[in-house]
């Protein structure tokens, strides 16, 4: 899959909207309007700051279930995502935590979202929710039944989890792509806010061989110049929040700074490769190719 199929620039930056607690969550505040208002504000901040995509997830519903979420969560997320899509003109994706890929696919198909994130598509992971089993078999068939083309971005050896069998990273990636049929692969650090190790990124990009590799956690404007060299895009959340604090709202100034640094790094990397090849076709920030 070529990410330019969805996004308007190579190596897209995908900002995350962490929804306030939804109905049936222990911290549900009894006001869906408050949830929608916050999501609208964050969507506007992300789009204005220059991200190429937005991922909406029920992050503050913790503790999460290892199985399907309550129907009220699906209903609430459908309303919120539809509203976000009306406000921005970048592709929107959905992640229903902890691993309700079927509900995410259903929401995406109904509202016209472009992609979903699946924490465990293949294999079995030990998590704080207990054992989570990937179910690529049913998810891929469900997508076909819905008649949609929603793309599946799948984590490999997802954060906040341990594989039962301790497989090699390269084997896990191969299984996710060739047996789980993921459209893109996501590599994260150990926990929210932790970046993946450089050696893991190097190993992953060598194995992906044409399947996009996205950084799934820990990207900041300090480390993105190094990380983006080894990936096809980045999903970013914590560092875009006020003061870099996960529970705060998205800060439009921090979004703009992150995007500017990331794009400048992409241009510098491209120009370095051009210089090494001995040609004169260089890029600047404004001429970064699209599509």
- At residue 287, the pLDDT reads 45
Instruction: Mark the ranges of the chain whose per-residue pLDDT is less than 50.
Output: 285-291
For 143, residues 6+ apart whose C-beta sits below 8 A from its C-beta are 105, 109, 150, 152
The CATH homologous superfamily of the domain defined by 3-287: Aldolase class I (3.20.20.70)
Residue 263 corresponds to which tokens in the numbers above?
């794009």
- At residue 276, the pLDDT reads 62
* Residue 98 and residue 65 in contact, taking contact as beta carbons nearer than 8 Å: yes
226-235 confidence digits (pLDDT tens): 999 999 999 9
Angle in degrees, CA 253, 257, 260, rounded to 5 = 140
* Residue 52 and residue 90 in contact, taking contact as beta carbons nearer than 8 Å: yes
Beta bridge partners of 109: none
H or E segment and range at residue 151: strand 151-155
Domain boundaries, the chain: 3-287
44-86 confidence digits (pLDDT tens): 999 999 999 999 999 999 999 999 999 999 999 999 999 999 9
- At residue 8, the pLDDT reads 86
Residue of 207, 206, 204 lying closest to 216 (CA atoms): 204
Distance, in Å, from the CA atom of 253 to the CA atom of 97, rounded to the nearest integer, reads 28
Tokens 């009894």 locate to: 30
* Burial per residue of 36-65, b for 16 or more beta-carbon CB atoms within 10 angstroms, e otherwise: bebbbebbebbbebbbbbbbbbbbbbeebb
């Amino acid at each position: 899959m070529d990410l330019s199929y969805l996004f308007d620039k190579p190596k897209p930056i995908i900002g995350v909207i962490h929804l306030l607690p939804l109905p049936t969550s222990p911290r549900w505040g009894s006001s869906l309007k408050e949830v929608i208002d916050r999501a609208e504000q964050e969507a506007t901040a992300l789009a204005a700051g220059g991200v190429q995509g937005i991922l909406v997830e029920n992050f503050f519903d913790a503790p999460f279930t290892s199985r399907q979420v309550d129907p009220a969560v699906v209903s609430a997320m459908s309303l919120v995502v539809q509203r976000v899509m009306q406000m921005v003109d970048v592709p929107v994706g959905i992640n229903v935590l902890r691993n309700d890929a079927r509900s995410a696919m259903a929401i995406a198909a109904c509202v016209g979202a472009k992609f979903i994130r699946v924490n465990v598509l293949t294999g079995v992971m030990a998590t704080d929710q207990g054992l989570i089993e990937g179910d690529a078999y049913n998810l891929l068939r469900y997508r076909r039944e819905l008649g949609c083309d929603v793309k599946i971005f799948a984590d490999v050896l997802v954060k906040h989890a341990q594989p039962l069998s301790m497989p090699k990273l390269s084997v896990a990636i191969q299984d996710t792509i060739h047996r789980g049929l993921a459209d893109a692969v996501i590599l994260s650090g150990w926990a929210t806010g932790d970046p993946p190790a450089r050696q893991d990124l190097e190993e992953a990009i060598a194995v992906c061989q044409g399947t996009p590799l996205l950084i799934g956690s820990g990207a900041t404007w300090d480390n993105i110049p190094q990380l983006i060299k080894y990936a096809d895009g980045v999903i970013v959340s914590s560092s875009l929040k006020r003061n870099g604090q996960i529970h705060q709202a998205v800060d439009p100034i921090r979004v703009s700074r992150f995007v500017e640094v990331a794009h400048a790094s992409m241009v510098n990397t491209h120009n370095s490769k051009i210089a090494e090849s001995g040609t004169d076709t260089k890029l600047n920030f404004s001429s970064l190719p699209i599509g």
